[in-house]
Structure formats: C-alpha cells, structure tokens
Amino acid sequence: MATYLALLRGINVSGQKKIKMSELKVHFEDLNLSHVRTYIQSGNVVFRDNIHYAENLVDLIRKKIQSVYGFDVAVMILNGGDLKKIIDKNPFLRDAEKESSFFHVTFLAEKPAAENIEKLKKIDHHPEQYILEDKHIYFYAPNGYGRAKMNNNFFENILKVPATTRNWNSVNKLLALMTE
C-alpha cells in the first residue's frame, strides 16, 4: 500500500475556502483512502491507497471538494520517496550561512513551460533566492516569507501553473508523518 501526501492550495487562508481538517479527513475516508491524517490547517493530508494512480487521486480529491464545498482547489500529490528526494536535494542545505528557518518549498501542479521558466530567470529580488527543479522550487527568503516578493502568487503568475508553498519545518514534519 502506497503512502501519499496531498497538498491543497489556498484553503483556510484569510478566511477563504474554509475546510475543517476533521471534515477533510472524513472526505478522504469517503474516497476509500486509509490511514488519513492531516497536519495543521493549510491543507496537508497524508493517506494510504493501493487502488489509484497518483494522477487519478488529484481528480478524485478535487471533485470531492468541489461537490462538498462548491469551490475548486488545486491539489498536488507526492509519494514518500518524492518528498524525501526533495528534502535531501535541497541545495540551500549545503550553504552553512543560510538559516533553514528561511527555507521554503513551492510545489507546482505541473512542470512549467520553457518560455515561462525563461521569464522567471530574468527576475532577481535579491537577497531572495530560488532554484527551480522540475515541479518544485526551493526558495530562500532571508527577510521572512511574509515580506517576500517571490511568494506563491508570484511563482504562479510567472510560471502559469498552480502552486502551493510550505515552510521547511512543515515539509520535514510531513515526511515524518508519511514514514510513521
């Protein structure tokens, strides 16, 4: 049985798209997903499944949320191996001068088009730094994420793909949940 992580974009932010985590857990169980656990209020759900392919899970979860709540939510699905690779390969970890409390990972729903990647490469908001790797972005915001110019909306607008960002602590906690 495979363990997955579902990252939901933009729920419970500024009073928008409200979903109680206890309800979300039940909705995942209604989809015959097992060992469902949520982490904090921002749409992180760890679960197990042996029936569906990951890409089918995205549609299944989106349709369930749409039918129950009446709004659409972008959903990104990762397995434990994917998340572990993302954590292990964070290039900012090799720089002893960077504090991990300023690390973030932006997860992309799909690989961005080449022309949008080129647009992103032309933008510099130093001291903020990013490294795009396939369908995720390592992001370093030394002045704090709340002040970052290169926030989730920035990446979505430039790359033209749905995205959701988690801080480094949350990313690591999610992997721990997946391996329990």
Cβ neighbours for 23, distance < 8 A, ≥ 6 positions apart: none
Q: What is the mean pLDDT of residues 90-111?
A: 97
Residue 46's nearest CA partner among 109, 108, 2, 90 is 2
pLDDT in tens, 55-81: 799 999 999 999 999 999 999 999 999
Reported as a single tens digit per residue, the pLDDT across 109-139 is: 999 999 999 999 999 999 999 999 999 999 9
Express as a percent the part of the chain with pLDDT over 70: 99
Is residue 13's pLDDT more than 80?
no
Whether residue 100 is predicted with pLDDT greater than 70 in this model: the reply is yes
Strands lying side by side in the sheet with 103-108:
129-133, 136-140, 103-108, 163-167
- The mean predicted confidence, pLDDT, of the chain is 94
Q: Which domains does the chain have, with CATH numbers?
A: 2-81 (3.30.70.1280), 83-178 (3.30.70)
Dihedral pair phi/psi, residue 49, rounded to 5°: -160, 145
Using CA of residue 148, residue 142, residue 6, residue 112, what is the dihedral sign?
positive
Q: State whether residue 145 is helix, strand or coil.
A: helix
